[in-house]
A and B are shown apart, each in its own frame.
Chain A
Amino acid sequence: MLAAAKMIHSLFLVNASGDIFLEKHWKSVVSRSVCDYFFEALERATEPENVPPVIPTPHHFLINVLRHRIYFVAVIQSEVPPLFVIEFLHRVVDTFQDYFGVCSEAAIKDNVVVVYELLEEMLDNGFPLATESNILKELIKPPTILRTVVNTITGSTNVGEQLPTGQLSVVPWRRTGVKYTNNEAYFDVVEEIDAIIDKSGSTITAEIQGVIDACVKLTGMPDLTLSFMNPRLLDDVSFHPCVRFKRWEAERILSFIPPDGNFRLLSYHVSSQNLVAIPVYVKHNISFREGSSQGRFELTLGPKQTMGKAVESVLVSSQLPRGVLNANLSPSQGTYTFDPVTKLLSWDVGKINPQKLPSLKGSVSLQTGASKPDENPTINIQFKIQQLAISGLKVNRLDMYGEKYKPFKGIKYMTKAGKFQVRT
């Protein structure tokens, strides 16, 4: 055996039904039978998410990630930081999503050549080469309907005619020669509330995580600065590589030359000293009686600290105990579904009207003879609040330097539920 080669050896894509539908090898070919170990693990796992991310086999290690119901299984031959591989695989998925709109089995199969070209550029000898989407897009044009039509007629190609400059420029994340007729820069401040609420309605844990996603379409090499009214709120941050760290350290200002197009500028965590406002409350009464085949089920939702904004797109879901056969409920608004196989109840509420609180009431039937379930289900809630950053974070101003035109600037705020759970 030769010296063990490092990093990613091969990649297999496996769909939900356990078929390998794509394979790519960066070094010598590894037989796809290596995936048998993965399939074994898949069989053992009760849920798709329960497959261990790292699986040792006699000669290799399999590191897999699950996204969009596809397992990306990387074959590793020797020691490598597992996060290195995991992070890279996620980057691959992000790239596919970026290129094809969705990262599904069908999309990958339809674009197998582009997928291959991308994988070829992203890894050299199993070591990441070009992972910045801006550079990849210069090397390989993303497919569009128009281009596909044109390509089939003219036989022209996806591959960039010109060789990219990005790898060599001082700003590796931005290509040169970007041109737009409408120069615009949009920033979305999106905050997510993670919370666990206990039976009695008191908060066990709550925290706010935020991101600023940007869509920047600006000509040339603009240099942007973005400042906050209350930067102290940001406790822990991680940046896109374009952000000048020193400037942030010294002045709490985000100064950067943006990549072209969509990117995540910043992720942050709001310091835990600040109390987290919980925008919704749930009143619940779920009970099963011993000996009875019926259980009572009542849920009422209401707005709490919402700063006067409406709570929208509310979706309640709950995994009911295994003993539940069916649910017979009536919602005051929205629709609900209950899957008798997975026992998943989900209630699409929509908008919460503070005057008329939405409720879901009725009974659930239990398997006859089954004993009373000894635990009550957990309720997961999703919601959105537009035009509000729940932490109170506010962008002060956005300035552009280095270019002459006046860009159109927009900032949007939104609050969402992250992992928001109510224990009953």
Chain B
Amino acid sequence: MLNHRFLCRNEDLKEMLESNKESLKLEAMKRIVGLIAKGKNASELFPAVVKNVASKNIELKKLVYVYLVRYAEEQQDLALLSISTFQRALKDPNQLIRASALRVLSSIRVPIIVPIMMLAIKEAATDLSPYVRKTAAHAIQKLYSLDPDQKEHLIEVIEKLLKDKSTLVAGSVVMAFEEVCPDRIDLIHKNYRKLCNLLVDVEEWGQVVIIHMLTRYARTQFVSPWREDAMFDENNEKAFYDSEEERKVEQTKPYIMDPDHRLLLRNTKPLLQSRNTAVVMAVSQLYWHLAPKHELSIITKSLVRLLRSHREVQYVVLQNIATMSIQRKGMFEPFMKSFYVRSTDATHIKTLKLEILTNLANEANISTILREFQTYVKSQDKAFAAATIQAIGRCATNISEVTDTCLNGLVLLLSNRDETVVAESVVVIKKLLQTQPSQHSDIIKHMAKLFDNITVPMARASILWLMGEYCEHVPKIAPDVLRKMAKTFTNEEDIVKLQIVNLAAKLYLTNSKQTKLLTQYILNLGKYDQNYDIRDRTRFIRQLIVPNEKSGALSKYARRILMAPKPAPVLQSAFKDRDRFQLGTLSHTLNSQASGYLELSDWPAVAPDQSVRNVEVVEPKFYSDSEEEEEEEEEGSSSEGSSSSSSEESVSESESEENSDDSNKSSSSQSEKSSSESDSEKKKKTLKNKKLQQQKPDILIITYLPPQIMQKTLLLIIMTKYILIHIVLSISTQFFVNCMCSLLHLCVFLACQFDVVSWHVHVSLQASSPVFVPETSHELLHRMTGKGLSAQYRFTRQPCIYGNSMVSLQLTLSNSSDQALENIHISEKSSTGQNIHRFNAIGERHTTKEDEFSVSIQPAVGELLLPITMSEADFTKEQGNTNTSYWHADETPTNRPIHFSVCISRFAGKTVSSGSLVLVSVALKDPDAVITINTEKTVIGSMLLRQFKTALTNSCP
């Protein structure tokens, strides 16, 4: 009947789907999704549903997708009907349609379409839209689980996607990597630094995956920072140089952290502040597994913070803290109170907190902890109270000072009303007594008295064992207990029966006069017990203790066997061996290896080749030749000055050679020859090399010139969140160019007010490329001030690879001293507001002499603008749009006559940072000029205006 009705209903859904009305179809699909959600079978509607896959209605389409993904596997033939729709959608101009088509296509688990999926993935991986590429990364995993034979092809795609610079793709492709080819660590090398640098901007879920992968990576590539041997080396020194410890360590310690290792630690640290608990945990485990021990403490606070989160989060975090606290008490000891149990905590949370408190206990805090435990023992949650007693037992064995106190406390608990509490106490007391039985016969007697009231088998068994083990301390009581037991033997639990047999045997050996008959009676009972363990034990004991012909030599030793001194049990944490699993993993939580768990390798003894991570990103660049002459002179003079800076490290040399080889086969040999050539020739070479470099600059960090020239050209990228510098000239009026040139020579100190400019804003205005790039360099550091090191910088006006909100700066460093300069780098302490993408230190550090110079880069206000292309009409329209008061308009007639005929020059630009429009028009009506600057950024406006005025005034004869 029900079935029938269900069929009818489906019939009516079918009808609705086949109708022409969109709303009916939609309604039908909604009801079908409702069925799927309830877990009902709606597969027979497949033909009717699949027809709608090409619908124009987005919602209908989505619901059909939901249905398809659910049932395609069951209805493979029909599912194929929909494939062509997806193939068409993969070519759609809208990226989101392309993405969703790929999503669904790859979710259809039909083996026959594997080649189509493969093709689609390959294409999507090169899509212009990062969103589509992200979807491609997800599709890789789906295809892999559908057909593992595609592995090799998929790895190729992964390799390609790993190179992707989009933060959107990074997390997903690493996920695919982890699933398809986690062992291909070689694919990561070249992308390692990029991943580290992108990490902060990747979406939170991707961060977790990347951090876990990088943890594994780092363990294979770097040497251990936990150097025990290094500690030995230090020991002597430490005593003497305590205050200067840090310095000494640096000198004596053979261990120097790989800069890449440091990069990972540095770039993950801010993520401890993430709101996503999984991210915080991921960073914590990274620090735990990778950071030098003394840096570990920074994760403590963040982990403790997570304890404020949901119950489930607490559970996982507490488990991890429990493992950590065994090895490093000090980390969490200051936060001990955060682990105090509240009556409202769930039982598993309470138990974990207890575990941690026990781990943290030491001589200093044990009294506080024990006082806290006293409250817990009285808890209404009896399972928790029992766990507390266990914990007290552990504290008592670990800290000998309090053993007696604990024991006395536990004895008091024996008169507790709750049975579980008493039973647990007995068990724990038994363990404690084993350490020093002779002093505690009173306690044993006390327990014997309680015996009748205790019903928990484990507790009864424990008391019986104690009686037997220490029967010599209680010679009168033990036989009596055995007598009682003989009466109740048949009603006892198995573990109790076993202990009765034990007790009987031991008493037989020590006090056979009183107990011989009792023992035989009990052995007879045991012989016919239902449980074979008990029958076995009885038989064994009988052979052992009762001498007869067959028993042979063994019975002579019965006493020594049964009454042998037994080592006290070690009470230890259940989390003792959890550290074999990587923290934060499912396997760690379960304490058993889950499928797909990737082992964290041990540190390599010797670090693998570091250079595998070096990357050269080559991007074509255009440099204008306009100021060659000037450049040549500058280069010449600086290379003359720097006569003897010779020692540049080998890496840089080889790199520069590679570079030259790529660009010009002969250049390296030429430059080698050049050392014997005359000075003037040298200059030319310099220039030539310089140009080569310019055509193929290594954007990533540094370009090296051959060492003969004793100079280095660096491309330094200044990334500022707030200050963006790029110059623009879209109107090529010669006059205007002159204007802008003079503008550029003016240096404006960037004041903090620019900090407020936002950098996130959507850039909708189309930027155009610069038509003019001046070659003038500005001095950053004079060689006198810099003790031989001089630095010059110029704005290259090239797009910066680190993002739209950055400006490329070319930095030229020359050494004019007669000593090698080493470890040139930008210090961490830069001014606020400016954010500099630092280059790696040049030259390895060999000595400790350090000099630090503070310099400032002073971009002209023009560098803050980006030119945009705009029609004259738009320009006027925007200019007229000054009704909002925020727009800054200023009209100032210059007071000096200018010898030009009337003309208007216009310039449209936007601030790179916020994308706000800057319109400049200069109307020259002989003899006056009217400068109009429209911008909402008043500061920029007024600065521009001031400089225009100066420039105009100066350009007059």
Q: Which residues of A contact B (CB under 8 A)?
A: 2-7, 20-25, 27-29, 32, 46-47, 49-50, 52-54, 56, 61, 63-67, 76-84, 86-88, 90, 112-113, 115-117, 120, 124-125, 127-129, 131, 154-155, 157-161, 163-164, 167-172, 176, 196, 204-205, 207, 209, 221, 223, 225, 235-241, 244-247, 249-251, 257, 264, 267, 269, 319, 321-322, 371, 374-375, 378, 380, 399, 401-402, 404, 419, 421, 423
State which residues 918-953 of B face A: CB under 8 Å.
Answer: 936
Q: In whole angstroms, what is the CA distance A226 to B524 when docked?
A: 85
Q: Which residue of A lies closest to B381 (CB)?
A: A46
Which B272-303 residues sit within 8 Å CB-CB of chain A? 273-278, 280-282, 301-302
A266 to chain B, nearest CB (A): 9
- Minimum CB–CB distance from A44 to chain B (whole Å) comes to 11
Q: Known contacts A28-B73, A81-B212, A86-B316; can you find 18 more A-B pairs with CB under 8 A?
A: A3-B145, A3-B179, A23-B38, A23-B39, A46-B347, A54-B590, A56-B592, A79-B585, A86-B313, A112-B37, A127-B205, A157-B59, A167-B131, A238-B275, A239-B275, A241-B274, A250-B832, A257-B760
> Are A81 and B37 in contact, CB atoms less than 8 angstroms apart?
no
Whether B936 pairs with A404 at a CB distance below 8 angstroms is yes
Is there contact, CB below 8 Å, between B58 and A112? Answer: no
A245 touches B59 (CB 8 A): no
Q: Give A24 to B70 CA distance when docked, in angstroms.
A: 9
Task: Tell me which residues across on chain B come within 8 A of A50, comparing CB atoms.
Answer: 346-348
Residue in chain B with minimal CB distance to A242? B760
Is B594's beta carbon under 8 Å from chain A? yes
Q: List 5 A-B contacts (CB under 8 A).
A: A22-B38, A53-B315, A81-B278, A82-B316, A204-B337
Q: What 6 pairs across the A-B complex have the smallest Cβ distances? A: A155-B23, A78-B596, A223-B758, A157-B59, A375-B378, A205-B337
Whole-angstrom CA separation of A318 from B945 in the bound complex: 72
Minimal Cβ-Cβ distance residue in B for A155: B23
Taken together as a complex, chains A and B put the C-alpha atoms of A293 and B392 apart, in Å, by 33
Residue B380 interfacial (CB < 8 Å)? yes
With A79-B595, A124-B135 given, is the CB distance from A87 to B37 under 8 Å? no
CB-CB under 8 A from A28, the residues of chain B are: 73, 109
- The reply to whether B378 and A374 contact each other, CB–CB distance below 8 Å, is yes
Interface range, B side: 35 or more
Q: Which of B136-144, B500-508, B769-777 contacts A (4 or more CB under 8 A)?
A: B136-144
Query: Quick check: B417 and A371 within 8 Å, CB to CB?
Result: yes
Q: With a CB–CB cut-off of 8 A, which chain B residues contact A154?
A: 23
Q: A319-B343, A404-B886 are in contact. Are A159 and B205 (CB under 8 A)?
A: no
> Chain B contacts of A3 at CB under 8 A?
144-145, 148, 179
Q: Which chain B residues lie closer than 8 Å to A322 at the CB level?
A: 380
CA distance A28 to B145 in the complex (A): 11
B112-149 interface code vs A (CB 8 A; 1 in, 0 out): 00000000000000000111000100110110111010
Cβ contact within 8 Å between B586 and A375: no
Given contacts A158-B59, A167-B168, A204-B337, contact A374 B417 (CB under 8 A): yes
A83, B313: Cα distance in complex, Å: 6
Q: Which residues of A contact B640 (CB under 8 A)?
A: none
B342: A residues at CB distance < 8 A = 196, 378, 419, 421
B305:A168 contact, CB within 8 angstroms: no
Contacts of B273 in A (CB 8 A): 237-239, 245
B895 CB-CB contact with A under 8 Å? no
Q: Are A375 and B39 in contact (CB under 8 A)?
A: no
A82-B208 Cα distance, complex, nearest whole Å: 11
Q: Are A221 and B760 in contact (CB under 8 A)?
A: yes
List of A residues within 8 angstroms of B316 by Cβ: 53-54, 82-83, 86
- Contact between A6 and B208 (Cβ–Cβ < 8 Å)? no
Asked if A24 and B37 make an inter-chain contact with CB atoms under 8 angstroms apart, the answer reads yes
What's the nearest-Cβ distance from chain B to residue A209, in Å?
6
**A80 cross-chain contacts in B, Cβ below 8 A:** 586
- With both chains docked as a complex, state the minimum distance between the C-beta of B225 and any C-beta of chain A, in angstroms: 23
User: Which residues of the partner chain A approach B22 to less than 8 Å between Cβ atoms?
Assistant: 155
CB proximity of B505 to chain A, nearest CB, Å:
38
Q: Which residues from A are CB-within-8-Å of B590?
A: 54, 56, 61
Residue B62, interface by CB 8 Å: yes
Q: Would you call B380 and A269 a contact (CB within 8 A)?
A: no
B884 is an interface residue with CB less than 8 A from chain A: yes
Q: Are A161 and B131 in contact (CB under 8 A)?
A: no
- Say whether B205 contacts A223, CB under 8 Å: no
Chain B residues near A257 (CB-CB < 8 A): 758, 760-761
B205 to chain A, nearest CB (A): 4
Interface residues, chain B, with chain A CB atoms under 8 Å away? 21-24, 26-27, 30, 33-34, 36-39, 57-60, 62-63, 65-66, 70, 73, 94-97, 103, 106-107, 109, 129-131, 135, 138-139, 141-142, 144-146, 148, 168, 172, 175, 178-179, 200, 203-205, 208, 212, 270, 273-278, 280-282, 301-302, 304-305, 308, 310-313, 315-317, 337-338, 340, 342-344, 346-348, 372, 375, 378-380, 416-418, 584-587, 589-590, 592, 594-598, 721, 756-758, 760-762, 832-833, 835, 884-886, 914, 936
CB proximity of B142 to chain A, nearest CB, Å: 5
- Residues from chain B with a CB closer than 8 A to the CB of A67 are 310
Inter-chain CA distance A30–B109, complex, in Å, is 14
- A129 partner residues in chain B, CB cutoff 8 A: 138
> Closest residue of chain A to B301, judged by CB?
A236
CB atoms of A241 and B835 under 8 A apart: no
| Complex contacts, A115 vs chain B, CB 8 Å | 37
Q: How far is the CA of A167 from the CA of B129 in the complex (A)?
A: 11
Central interface residue in A86, A124, A225, A245, by most chain B CB within 10 Å: A124
Given contacts A4-B596, A83-B584, A223-B756, A244 and B721 within 8 Å (CB-CB): yes
Contacts of A245 in B (CB 8 A): 200, 270, 273
A5 touches B145 (CB 8 A): yes
Q: A87-B313, A374-B417 are in contact. Are A380 and B344 (CB under 8 A)?
A: yes
Contacts of A235 in B (CB 8 A): 301
Rounded to whole angstroms, the CA-CA distance of A402 and B937 in the bound complex is 9
Q: For the complex, give the distance between the alpha carbons of A374 and B379 in Å.
A: 9
Q: Do residues A81 and B282 form an inter-chain contact, with CB atoms below 8 A?
A: yes
Chain A residues with CB below 8 A from B139, complex form = 125
A239 to B, closest residue via Cβ: B273
Which residues from chain A contact B141 at a C-beta distance below 8 Å? 5-6, 125, 127
Q: Find the A residue at minimum CB distance from B936.
A: A404
Q: Tell me how far the C-beta of B867 lies from the nearest C-beta in chain A, rounded to whole angstroms.
A: 21
Of residues A6, A23, A53, which shows the largest number of chain B Cβ atoms within 10 Å of its Cβ?
Answer: A53
* Bound form: Cα–Cα A82–B24 in Å: 43
Which chain B residue lies CB-closest to A128?
B205
A2 surroundings in chain B (CB, below 8 A): 145-146, 148
Chain A: which residue is nearest B129 at the CB level? A168
Expressed in whole angstroms, the minimum distance between the Cβ of A92 and any Cβ of chain B is 13
Cβ contacts under 8 Å, A423 to chain B: 375
Given A50-B348, A116-B37, A205-B340, A127 and B832 contact (CB-CB distance below 8 Å): no
- Residue of A27, A79, A375 contacting most chain B CB atoms (<10 Å): A79
CB atoms of A6 and B62 under 8 A apart: no
If A6-B175, A79-B586 touch, whether A86 touches B375 (CB-CB below 8 Å) is: no
Smallest beta-carbon distance A384→chain B, Å? 19
Check if A246 sits within 8 Å of B721, measured CB to CB.
yes
| CB proximity of A282 to chain B, nearest CB, Å | 15
Of A88, A157, A321, most B-chain CB atoms within 10 Å: A157
In contact, B276 and A87 (Cβ under 8 angstroms): yes
Contact (Cβ within 8 A) B276 A79: no
Chain A contacts for B347, CB-based, 8 A: 46-47, 50
With the chains together, A2 CA to B168 CA distance in Å?
28
With contacts A209-B308, A269-B301, A421-B342 known, is A241 near B275, CB below 8 A?
Answer: yes
Whether the Cβ atoms of B595 and A4 lie closer than 8 Å is yes
